[in-house]
């Protein structure tokens, strides 16, 4: 009897080791051994592979959230930032905190299949922290109209909504082309785009904001600047003499906007646009978010320019 026990103990130990090894190997199979359903190259140049279509997506950018809603992928959204406020239904999604400093614990608790973010987030601690948490990240850089169309395609593929994203892209491209054709023979007004007053900042031709103004039939005065968002000097503005001023702002903040318009008129009193009151205020959410409403921004600007009756001044 004792002999039997002595023999069995080593056998039991060996069996436990073998079972443990099997379990360990099963639990540590690399995801790469699974079949890849599709791969996409994000705007950082990284290849992101998917073994299945994501069922839980976290969006860390308002324009990305807006696009997911526009292509009918809102049911997949597990979390958004506090800045994701359009469409209004986006506010009902679980909040992951602010755009610049999202709650990492909240993101991890939601266990997303993929986290979508804009390219500027790579320079923030959030990107590196999510990398360390082994989150699947896909980074977008919708810097201009073509970048927006690419974003639609990428998000359509990721969310399995390629048909809807394709229709959205085709619709915006058609509207853009119609605007460009209709404005071919018209003289382009020299436009000053004010990104901020303190500091006094504008944008060059490489941004979607400048493209919006161009598609609305105007010429960005600072289109040839090297820096995407250069600072402006009052002396330089006097020489350039803008014919119209476009200022994105919160259109519900009437008192603040009135004060800013007054400040602009005072600073640029010698310029044609300021002297004649040709200052257009456009909803900053529409102007600053590279997404589905880009052509709505163009329409709003064109309508406001027409209402100024500049040809009669």
pLDDT at 303 over 50: yes
Q: Confirm if 242 and 222 have CB atoms less than 8 A apart.
A: no
pLDDT at 147 over 50: yes
Question: Average pLDDT for residues 237-245, to the nearest whole number?
Answer: 90
pLDDT, position 153: 98
> What are the structural domains of the chain?
32-168 (3.40.50.1980), 183-312 (3.40.50.1980)
Q: How do residues 109-129 score in pLDDT, each as one tens digit?
A: 999 999 999 987 665 788 889
pLDDT, position 312: 46
pLDDT at 23 over 90: no
101 Cβ contact list (under 8 Å, min separation 6): 124, 126
Instruction: Give the best-scoring range by mean pLDDT among 9-23, 30-44, 132-146.
Output: 132-146
Predicted TM-score (pTM) of this structure: 0.84
CA 30 → CA 18, 26, 246, distances in Å? 20, 9, 53
Count CB-CB contacts under 10 A for residue 45.
Answer: 7
User: Which phi and psi angles does 223 have, rounded to 5°?
Assistant: -60, -30
The distance of Cα 31 from the centroid of its chain, to the nearest Å, equals 29
């Amino acid at each position: 009897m004792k002999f039997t026990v002595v023999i069995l103990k080593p056998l039991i130990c060996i069996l436990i080791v073998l079972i443990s090894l099997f379990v360990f190997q099963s639990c540590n199979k690399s995801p790469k051994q699974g079949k890849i359903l599709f791969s996409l190259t994000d705007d950082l140049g990284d290849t992101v592979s998917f073994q299945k279509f994501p069922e839980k997506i976290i969006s860390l950018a308002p324009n990305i959230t807006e696009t997911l809603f526009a292509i009918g992928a809102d049911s997949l959204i597990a979390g958004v930032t506090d800045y994701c406020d359009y469409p209004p239904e986006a506010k009902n999604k679980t909040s992951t905190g602010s755009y610049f400093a999202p709650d990492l614990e909240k993101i991890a608790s939601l266990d997303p299949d993929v986290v979508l973010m804009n390219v500027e987030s790579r320079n923030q601690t959030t990107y590196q922290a999510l990398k360390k948490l082994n989150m699947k990240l896909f980074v977008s850089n919708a810097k201009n109209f073509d970048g927006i169309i690419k974003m639609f395609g990428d998000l359509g593929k990721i969310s399995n909504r390629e048909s809807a994203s394709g229709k959205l892209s085709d619709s915006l491209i058609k509207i853009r082309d119609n605007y460009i054709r209709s404005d071919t023979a018209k003289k382009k007004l020299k436009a000053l785009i004010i990104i901020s007053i303190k500091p006094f900042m504008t944008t060059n031709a490489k941004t979607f904001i400048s493209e919006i103004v161009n598609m609305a039939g105007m010429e960005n005065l600072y289109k040839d600047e090297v820096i995407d968002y250069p600072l402006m000097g009052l002396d330089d503005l006097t020489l350039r003499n803008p014919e119209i001023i476009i200022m994105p702002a919160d259109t519900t903040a009437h008192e603040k906007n009135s004060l800013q318009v007054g400040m602009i008129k005072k600073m640029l009193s010698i310029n044609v646009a300021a002297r004649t009151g040709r200052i257009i205020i456009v909803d900053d959410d529409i102007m600053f978010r590279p997404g589905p409403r880009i052509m709505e921004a163009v329409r709003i600007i064109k309508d406001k320019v027409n209402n100024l009756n500049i040809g009669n001044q």
